[in-house]
Amino acid sequence: MRLATVLIAAAILAACGESGAQTTAVSGGPLETQPANGAAYGQKPAFPGQTRAPLQKLGVAFDVVTVASGLVDPWGLTFLPDGRMLVTEQPGRLRIVTADGKLSDPIAGTPAVYHEGQGGLLDVALSPTFATDRLVYLSYAEAGPDGTNGTASGRGRLVESGNGGRLEGFTVIYRQAPKMASRLHFGSRLVFTPKGNLFITQGERSIIPGRMQAQQMDSLLGKLVRIRPDGSIPPDNPYVGKAGVPPQIWSIGHRNIQGAAINPANGKLWTIEYGAKGGDEINEPEPGRDYGWPTITYGTEYSGAKIGEGITQKAGMEQPLYYWDPTNAPSGLAFYNANLFPAWKDSLFFGSHNPKYVGRLSINGGKITGEERIMADFGAAIRDVRVGPDGAIYLLADDPGGRILKLVPKR
């Protein structure tokens, strides 16, 4: 008994990074212990391990380094081939950021954006053939007639000059339809597949007339879409040739997808999606599948009322791989497949807005098997998570400092 006590005591000793986050290598009961909102309506997971995975800390000590600051509502980040970064600011600016934190002047030639509520300039991605075509892709909220707006995406050629540059020939390649008069639920992440097609994540605009269109096949609201880099339609999209159905649609029944990444284990897209008061989800969206919103979902309305009939399962609708209740307001998603943090290899990282932390998930056989929170006392809402070419984990902190942070091994 005494030996077991000593071993347990040794296991709970840990180093801390600048964040103060404990990095103890222990496992135990579920990380989340608060009451589930959906329990009031008898909600239960559809299968073991679908929620409340065991707390699993891997003993990783790290420092949090501020790479750059002074950004206003930073939203999306990607890396140029030389290690510099392209970063979007929600008010509509795109900047180049050097490795030592210098911000360029705003890049000219970006589209006009609707900057209200959750709208603005959102994600940024490089063309898979950027080395030869210099194309930069943006997603953003676009204003329409009579106070309406919606998610859009376009591309332009990056030409650098002086302390900045411009996007030449910016062209819209996708517009969500119909546009709605709402300040909420635009999505939107841009993810290229291994074969070069482009996923664009979206929302259903939150308001009831938009929410109900997540199940309507003649609407692009509440849909994950997939297009070619020039905006044309991949011939193997699931609804190509279906009368009255936009051929861009990949899957339906989504609420507001703000994180997406390709799983290096199988080349498939994983997404992380906002629920209401609970019901945040991780999915691996398959073509032509229905992910349920708003017919089935976990959690409740923000008021505490049932969402629809309050059901969590229905024939023909997919279950999430994993869900949270209460909510964590997730944004940004990245698989860690680098070597700088060997213990974190094959983990999945995401940012959280409320409460503010970085989440790490252990994956085994396509299932979430462990969960931990790091930087839980850092006090910043994390908007995006990326793995840099140096193997560090880069974060966009959407706080008054407007910072790019990176996690590196503790010195």
Residues marked active site are found at 185
Token pair 């994540």: residue: 201
Residue 145, φ and ψ in degrees, nearest 5: -75, 155
Rounded-to-integer distance, Cα 191 and Cα 269, Å:
8
Query: What tokens appear for 169 in the block?
Result: 């020939």
Rounded-to-integer distance, Cα 330 and Cα 290, Å:
21
CA distance to 45, 194, 253, per residue, from 290 (Å): 18, 23, 5
Other residues' Cβ atoms within 10 Å of the Cβ of residue 345: 12
Token pair 């639920």: residue: 185
Rounded-to-integer distance, Cα 203 and Cα 222, Å:
5
Other residues' Cβ atoms within 10 Å of the Cβ of residue 313: 11
Among residues 155, 190, 159, which one has the least CA distance to residue 173? 155
Cα Rg of the chain (Å, integer): 21
Query: What tokens appear for 288 in the block?
Result: 């032509």
Residue 186, φ and ψ in degrees, nearest 5: -95, -10
Q: Residue 181: left (phi > 0), alpha (psi -120 to 50), or beta?
A: beta
